[in-house]
């Protein structure tokens, strides 16, 4: 049996501009920004903000042709995905595959939240699902 999903790791939110989004998420709600990075292969600049034992991930597209750029053009700013933490992302992905869940990623890959993979929203009633196995340096979050 694979490692279970342990908690909601983060909720992904697409924004036009990280600095402008901080005005609400950081300055108004008081959520501290603890990690910011450009993830070139995903075409985003992303920030993780802490809220209790979970996080909010803000996603700013690097280009209008990236996946997040296309999402923003089609749907505007807002909820993008729900991410669950696991101690074994490869095992969780294999368990989803064994249950005939439609996958976006066939193998885990590095992301801002650790080793990640995505399940297709068609299998989750329209919700894009991400699994994340935090990197060792981030495991305490």
Residue 139, pLDDT score:
62
Domains of the chain: 5-138 (3.10.180.10)
Q: How much is the pTM?
A: 0.92
Query: Distance (Å, rounded) from C-alpha 127 to C-alpha 141?
Result: 24
Residue 36, pLDDT score:
96
* Contact yes or no for 24/5 (Cβ under 8 A): no
* Contact yes or no for 5/131 (Cβ under 8 A): yes
Residue 43, pLDDT score:
95
Residues in the chain: 141
Query: Distance (Å, rounded) from C-alpha 81 to C-alpha 7?
Result: 14
Q: Which token pair is 98? A: 């064994």
- Positions of the chain with pLDDT under 50: 1
């Amino acid at each position: 049996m694979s490692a279970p999903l342990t908690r909601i790791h983060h909720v992904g939110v697409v924004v036009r501009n990280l600095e402008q989004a901080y005005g609400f998420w950081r300055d108004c709600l008081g959520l501290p920004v603890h990690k910011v990075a450009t993830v070139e292969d995903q075409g985003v600049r992303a920030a993780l903000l802490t809220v209790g034992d979970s996080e909010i991930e803000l996603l700013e597209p690097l280009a209008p042709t990236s996946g997040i750029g296309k999402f923003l053009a089609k749907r505007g700013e807002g909820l993008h995905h729900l991410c669950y933490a696991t101690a074994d992302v490869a095992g969780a992905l294999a368990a989803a595959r064994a249950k005939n869940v439609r996958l976006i990623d066939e193998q885990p890959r590095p992301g801002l939240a650790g080793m990640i993979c995505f399940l297709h929203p068609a299998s989750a009633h329209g919700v894009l699902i991400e699994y994340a196995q935090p990197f060792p340096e981030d495991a305490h979050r």
